[in-house]
Structures are given as structure tokens and as C-alpha cells.
Amino acid sequence: MSELETQFRRYIIVHREPVAVAITLWICFAWCHEIATYSPILVIQGGDTATAKTTASKVIALLTPRAYVVAEPRGATLYRLVDRYHPTLIVDDADRLLPRRPDLAHIVNVSWTRGTTIPRVDARGGIHHYDPFCPKLLNGIGLTAHLDRATQTRCITAELLPKLANENVANFRHAIRDERFLTLRRKLARWAADNMSVLANADPGMPEALGDRQQMNWELLFAIADLAGGDWPAKARAAATKLVREREEPSQGKRLLAAFRSLFGEHGALLTSRQVEQLLTADGDSEWANYKGHPINKWEIASLLRPYGISPDVIHPRGRAADRGYDMRQFETVFRHYLPPESPSCGRTVVRKSRE
């Protein structure tokens, strides 16, 4: 494991230990993919063009089985390619590709779980079930911001930083001739063949900080770390906890629910759609006052609430004519399932962002 980590560090700068640990374990995971139930997507991203994302992806390609680096694939091509070759699929510049190609984004999303197939009618009228399940690596600038929430939860994100002036790595053009890659690939193939049955029956311990989806992402990686022994079990769990906490920002929908809980606490159990719109946008610094470049309106509010089974209805505020809006009772079940309990000392959730 340490030899593997040392090799990819020859060609890419990894400034943070959790990222190096995650990449090392994911490379090993790719060699054991045939026993995986869930296939976490490795995301290599940075905040700029000068973070060696493409180089990192190509270095990882030299260390994984049947690596296939692809740009601008069509959906029909992608699932046929995966079904036929079961490669380690590496998608370059995914930040620009996936928003333009929702078919690709959907295939990437559903291929997280073994057994999800894509049925298509063949030339003879029969139905062929294409299997899109394979190890997947996506790279791009700020890529997770371009992925929908469901896909984000299926990812292990490795954030790369720009290289400092005094930092040096080997030039990637020499990597193709670096025989250490071939040696490591042979070792990894033999290691996987020898240990696949052990890993298939492993039941690794899970950190309490990880939710169900994150546990699914990391389960096989933890099993690999436990098998490696030494300090790898502790390093793996520390890396997972650190990386997951960094990505655990409440979704926009959950933030809106929290805002509604606060509004009900401050202004009563019945709120008209117009009231909600005005209260959410009263603070010019809040995210709702700058929603998609403009103050959020009542139709956009309704759209964000729709996935939770909530829609505006006719309400009868005391002393006012009937109007369309929201009754706190509509939210009671949703609040319990999606929001943390309110702190007794605080009383309610804060709606507005701090100016500090």
C-alpha cells in the first residue's frame, strides 16, 4: 500500500493525508470491483486549472485495471462500452460535460449500485440489459457543484491544490516508460486474486460519524485497509471521517426547510406564499435574496418544497381573508426526518446568515 502511494506521489502533489489515503484505497478497490455491491465514484477536483487533475487521473489510469480515459462520450456509447469491457472508466473535464449531457449524468448515478441495468431493444427485437457497473473516476474544476445531490452522496472527493513554486514532481511524459507502474499493476492483480474471497466476506467496523450512504461508499475500502494492517485501518477511518465532514453541507432543500421552521417559530403557524417570499428575502445578504441571481419567488419556493411532498394550499390566517400558503402541520413529519432537533437553549433555527 505504501509503495502504491509513493508511486503516484512521484507524479502528482497531494498536500493532504486524507486525500492520499482515499486515492490509494480506491485504486486497490478498482482491482476488487467484481465483489463490490456499491461503487463509489472517485472525484478528482480543484478550484483552478493548475491543480494537475488530468495528470492525476492519468497516473491513476496507469495503476488501475482496464483503464479507459474518455472525453465527450454519448450515453449509448458509454453503457455499451462498460457492458462489453467493464473498464475503470475515467471521464475527463466532467465539470463541462455532465451539465450538458443529463443522460450521462444519470448513467453515472445509477451505475453506483450493482444490478441496475439499462434495457434496450436490439436489432432482432429482443431486449438486451446493459450493465453500467464499473469503477468510475471523474475530474473537473469544482466538479461536485455540477453534480446533483444524489450523485454527490455517491462520491469520494479528492481535492487537489496548486503546486507551490518550491515543489517538484516527475514529468508525466516519463510515466509511460516507468516500469514501476507495470510492476505495481502485476502486484495489485496478484494481491486481488489472492484476497478477493477474504474481502468478499469482510465486515469492517464503521465510524459513527458516517451515515448509511457513506458507509456503503467506504465499506470495501475499509476492508482493504484492515487487510493491509499496520496503521492503515486507523488512517482509512480518519480519512473517511475527515472527507465526509468536509462535504456534509445541508442541501438547498434542507436549508429551506430550516428557514421555514424558523419562520413558523417567529411569525406563527400559518404563512401565505407572499409572506414567505418577503420574509426570506428581507435580508439582502441571505442566499434567498440572491437565489440564481435574483430574490427567490413563491413559485421557486414551491418547486424546492415539492420533493418533500409539500405544496401551497388554501389557508385561513386569523383576521385575514383566505389565501394560498403554508400550514406548519404540513411540515411536521418532514422536519422530524430531515432536520436535527432544535436545541432547547436556542429555541429555533436561525434564518439569516451571520454578517461576521
Same domain, 276 and 163: no
User: What nine digits make up the cell of 134?
Assistant: 464499473
Do residue 228 and residue 257 come from a single domain? no
Q: Same domain, yes or no, for 239 and 117?
A: yes
Mean pLDDT score, 253-271: 93
Is the confidence at residue 346, as pLDDT, over 60?
no
As a whole number, the mean pLDDT across the chain is 90
139 and 212 belong to one structural domain: yes
Short-list 137, 140, 133, 132, CA closest to 156: 137
Closest CA to 253 of 190, 307, 193, 188: 307
What pLDDT was estimated at residue 352? 40
CB atoms within 10 A of CB 137: 27
pLDDT band per the 50, 70, 90 thresholds, residue 356: very low
The mean-pLDDT minimum among 60-64, 176-180, 184-188 falls in 176-180
Q: What is the pLDDT of residue 279?
A: 96
- CATH number, domain of 276, equals 1.10.10
Whether 351 maps to a domain, the answer reads no
Domains: count for the chain: 2
Domain final position from 228, 247, 266: 247
Q: pLDDT tens for residues 22-49?
A: 999 999 999 999 999 999 999 999 877 7
> Are residues 324 and 189 part of one domain?
no
SS (H, E, C) 305-329: HHHHCCCCEEECCCCCCCEEEEEHH
Residue 347 lies in a domain: no
* Non-local CB neighbours of 60 within 8 Å, separated by 6+ positions: 8, 23, 27, 42, 44, 67, 90, 137
Query: Looking at residue 353, what is its pLDDT?
Result: 40
Query: Looking at residue 250, what is its pLDDT?
Result: 65
Residues 289, 228 within the same domain: no
Count the alpha carbons within 13 Å of 49 in the hemisphere toward its beta carbon: 1
Share of the chain above pLDDT 90, in %: 67
Written as one letter, the residue type at 152 is Q
Q: Which three cell numbers stand for residue 41?
A: 465514484
**Domain presence at residue 355:** no
Residue range 272-318, pLDDT digits in tens = 999 999 999 999 889 999 988 899 999 999 999 987 889 999 999 88
Place of cell 451515515: 211
CATH number of the domain encompassing residue 106: 3.40.50.300
- Residue 4's pLDDT is 92
Digit-coded pLDDT (tens) for 47-103: 777 788 999 999 999 999 999 999 888 889 999 999 999 999 999 999 999 989 988
In a domain, 356, yes or no: no
**Claim to verify: residue 135 and residue 209 sit in the same structural domain:** yes
Task: Supply the angle between the helices 17-31 and 232-247 in degrees, to the nearest 10.
Answer: 110
Residue 340, pLDDT score? 78
Q: Say whether both 131 and 227 belong to one domain.
A: yes
- Is 161 part of a structural domain of the chain? yes
Residue 314: inside a domain: yes
Map grid coordinates 482509512 to a residue. Answer: 236
Quote the pLDDT of residue 145: 82
Record the pTM. 0.73
Residue 143 Cα distances to 2, 42, 218, angstroms: 28, 11, 20
Task: Examine the domain organization and report whether 262 and 231 are in the same domain.
Answer: no
Mean pLDDT of 202-230: 95
Domain end position, chosen among 203, 232, 247: 247
Q: Are 224 and 274 in a shared domain? A: no
Which residue type, as a one-letter code, is found at position 138? L
d(C-alpha 75, C-alpha 102), whole Å: 9
- Tell whether 243 and 258 lie within a shared domain: no
CA 116 to chain CA mean position, Å: 19
Alpha carbon distance 144, 153 (integer Å): 10
CA dist 116 and 39 (Å) reads 12
Residue 353 included in any domain:
no
The Cα–Cα gap between 172 and 33 comes to 27
Boundaries of domain holding 36: 2-247
pLDDT at position 338 is 78
Any domain includes 349: no
Q: State which of 196, 226, 247 marks the end of a domain.
A: 247
Do 285 and 222 have their domain in common?
Answer: no
- The predicted-structure confidence for 137-161, as pLDDT tens digits, reads as follows 999 988 988 888 889 999 999 988 8
Query: What DSSP line would sit under 322-350, residue for residue?
Result: -EEEEEGGGGHHHHHHHSPPPPTTT-S--
Band (246; pLDDT cuts 50, 70, 90): confident
